[in-house]
Amino acid sequence: MANGQAHEGGADSALVVIPTYNERDNLEPIVRRLFAALPTAHALVVDDGSPDGTGKVADELAAADERVHVLHRTEKAGLGAAYVAGFEWALDRDYRAIIEMDADGSHSPEDLPRLIGMLGPEGTGADVVLGSRYVPGGRTVNWPWYRALLSRGANVYSKLALGVSINDITSGYRVYRREVLQTLRLHNVASQGYCFQVDLAWRAVDAGFVVVEVPITFVEREIGSSKMDAEVVREALIRVTRWGLRRRTHQAIDVLRSLKR
């Protein structure tokens, strides 16, 4: 159930969707930094039944500030499912910009005005803005070498397999124009983790939306542990490979059809 009143803001209204699982110590500081950076934004905490009391902290924040809303889910169903639930909540209201941001401090809220500014007036700016570690000016801080290698490899493989020009397609710090999420048929998205981010970015490109990358500094979390595991990596590898093969097959069929004409 979501706490707080439905937002009735104007065309510039923004909702930051923050999925949480055992982020009790991180949540309040990141929300405080968010509102310092973007006072007019709202935040939706999507908590997957955290056993450490994160949901209670979220409820306390919502009770103290009408800009904070909470969506309680009964079990840990994965990052992708949490974001889809948050996106659907946002689309039921009138938010114009819908943002993905981690609760652990790895995404700096101070970057948000710059990311949102890339949207521009409707029809003139970007439709999706990715906070990118892998464009000039972007970087990572305090990452162990194996995480950096895994992330770089996943992005290079996805870029080659899918034939997209996005350097950081796995980035989880991004801004969507409302119309993008309305178009992408969210009920069909079953991907999680890295793969969820690849899935939505690729769908946006395939649908003809303008996707841009803005450099950010990604800082490894200081409190708690990463949710990345071998199963998330395995899912990404399998799904991206399937999508890439499907794309190449369609391209080959199109070439054969053109030769028959």
CA 52/CA 56 separation, integer angstroms: 9
How confident is the prediction along the chain (261 residues), in pLDDT tens digits per residue? 444 333 433 334 899 999 999 999 999 999 999 999 999 999 999 999 999 999 999 999 999 999 999 999 987 778 888 999 999 999 999 999 999 999 999 999 999 999 999 996 665 689 999 999 999 999 999 888 888 888 888 888 888 888 889 999 999 999 999 999 999 988 887 676 668 899 899 999 999 999 999 999 999 866 655 555 556 666 667 776 776 677 667 656 655 666 666
- Model's pTM, two decimal places? 0.85
CA 231/CA 210 separation, integer angstroms: 31
At residue 14, the 3 state secondary structure works out as: strand
Condensed to tens digits (0 to 9), the pLDDT of residues 102-121 reads 999 999 999 999 999 999 66
Residue 148: per-residue pLDDT: 86
Residue 10: per-residue pLDDT: 34
Phi, psi (deg, nearest 5) at residue 101: -155, 135
Determine contact, residues 105/141, Cβ cutoff 8 Å: no
CA 163/CA 172 separation, integer angstroms: 20
At residue 163, the 3 state secondary structure works out as: coil
CB within 8 A of 204, min separation 6: which ones?
127, 128, 176, 180, 184, 211
CA 104/CA 129 separation, integer angstroms: 20
> Which domains are assigned to the chain?
2-256 (3.90.550.10)
Determine contact, residues 43/68, Cβ cutoff 8 Å: yes
Residue 78: per-residue pLDDT: 81
H helices present in 65-183, as ranges: 79-91, 112-117, 145-162, 178-183
CA 236/CA 193 separation, integer angstroms: 8
Determine contact, residues 147/129, Cβ cutoff 8 Å: no
CA 126/CA 145 separation, integer angstroms: 33
Residue 4: per-residue pLDDT: 38
Residue 230: per-residue pLDDT: 59
Nearest of 190, 184, 186 to residue 88 by alpha carbon: 186
